[in-house]
Amino acid sequence: MTSADDAASAGLTKVGGRPPLREYVTEVWRRRSFIYSMARFKIESENQQNSLGMFWVILKPLLNALIYGAVFGILMGTVGRPPHFVEFLIIGIFVFEFFASSWTAGGRAITNNSALVQSLAFPRMVLPLAAVVQQFLKFLPTIAIMVVFLIATGNPISWHWLLIVPLFALYLVFTCGVALITARLSVHWRDLNNFLPFITRFFFYTTGIFFSIEERFGPRPPSAREPQGYAGHPWLVTLTDYQPVHEFLSIARAALLDGPFYETNPTYWLLATAWTVVLFAFGVWFFWRAEERYGRVD
């Protein structure tokens, strides 16, 4: 009999050891109040030294929308600009900003909290989840801003607007899965944290935030006149149909904006749900597998 067997027979467990997956997930769920409290505290601590305080939660995405709208709205002209372009842009920037900030913060949750990880015994998964919840709490005011802006610009109120509730709930779970995967990878390869801003920037410029991928690269009827700057690459449109962030953006715009250009694509709902289930389930399992490794963060 080994020493491990002797310890097990005496009811002793390894300090920092990895519990079974079901037990581990149960422990994380029991700490849901802590996850929420930690997320709120981080938001307050980040803004308490600023003169504008919590107003930066709203001001930052507004400034981003203003800057990108002014720059790209002028430089790119009318090529690839769909109807309701300002609303199209606002929704794209606000929705993508949540994903980008959550991905970056969640990916760094373990490495940026190494002292906490080494000092206390708790399921480490609460750290990336708290980081994503923190960004989601900051995202909620921007949702209200989007709704108010749409009403102020004359967009008709529709029951389709209610679709953003299940959509953003799905979006939250999807982002948690991405953050969990990245959080573990960042522990094994620290340089990933330095690459994350460039990766998110690549997604920003290729996801159709401030132009319509379908209008710019989609196929044109033989009789249609191709505007200056048009590039016909239908294969690129097909490829982006399977890009999950583009799917979430398209569904959000279809739910909030009116007109034939923004008809809901049911396939996007199926694909977005599939991405969410697969990535979150894999993210939980993938992160749990390295639970013992996180306590040895240098």
Residue 143 is assigned to a structural domain of this protein: yes
Residue 171 is assigned to a structural domain of this protein: yes
Residue 31 is assigned to a structural domain of this protein: no
Residue 173 is assigned to a structural domain of this protein: yes
Residue 49 is assigned to a structural domain of this protein: no
pLDDT band (50, 70, 90) for residue 3: low
Interval 224-249: pLDDT, tens? 444 444 445 554 555 566 688 888 99
For the record, the structure tokens of 27 come out as: 């422990």
The total number of structural domains that make up the chain: 1
Residue 267 is assigned to a structural domain of this protein: yes
Residue 26 is assigned to a structural domain of this protein: no
**pTM exceeds 0.85 for this model:** no
Residue 18 is assigned to a structural domain of this protein: no
Predicted confidence (pLDDT) at residue 122 exceeds the cutoff of 90? no
In which domain, by residue range, is 246 found?
54-294
Identify whether the C-beta of residue 73 lies closer than 8 Å to the C-beta of residue 84: no
Q: What pLDDT was estimated at residue 91?
A: 87
Interval 138-196: pLDDT, tens? 898 888 888 888 888 888 888 888 999 999 999 999 999 999 999 999 988 877 878 88
Nearest CA-CA partner of 140 in 112, 165, 175 = 165
Show Cβ contacts of residue 1 under 8 Å, excluding neighbours closer than 6 positions. 9
Q: What pLDDT was estimated at residue 112?
A: 83
